[in-house]
């Protein structure tokens, strides 16, 4: 049958909370700026493919949206 333990559930090394918080903050930053880049890329591709802007117009839209997003997300 199942064994019943009366000791603590965690028997490994102690948690390094400072390192955990740094890793979590890096994950949040990567998620935030990655999402911003993908949104800017999709808007640039939309401008390039579905309007008369072409490749350079889409690139300009991508850069404008990405830079504006960087300024707004600070």
Give me the pLDDT at residue 15, please.
Answer: 79
CB 53 within 8 A of CB 61: yes
Query: For the chain, how big is the Rg over CA atoms in Å?
Result: 23
Instruction: Please give the model's pTM, rounded to 2 decimal places.
Output: 0.75
pLDDT at 1 exceeding the cut of 60: no
pLDDT digits (tens, 9 = 90+) for 21-67: 999 999 999 999 999 999 999 999 999 999 988 999 999 999 999 99
Residue 9 — pLDDT band, cuts 50, 70, 90?
A: low
Write down the pLDDT at residue 12: 67
Q: How confident is the model at residue 16, as a pLDDT? A: 85
């Amino acid at each position: 049958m199942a064994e019943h333990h009366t000791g603590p559930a965690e028997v490994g090394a102690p948690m390094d909370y400072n390192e955990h918080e740094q890793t979590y903050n890096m994950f949040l930053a990567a998620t935030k700026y990655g999402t911003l880049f993908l949104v800017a890329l999709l808007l640039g591709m939309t401008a390039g493919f579905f309007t008369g802007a072409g490749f350079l117009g889409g690139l300009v839209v991508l850069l404008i949206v990405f830079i504006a997003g960087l300024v707004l997300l600070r």
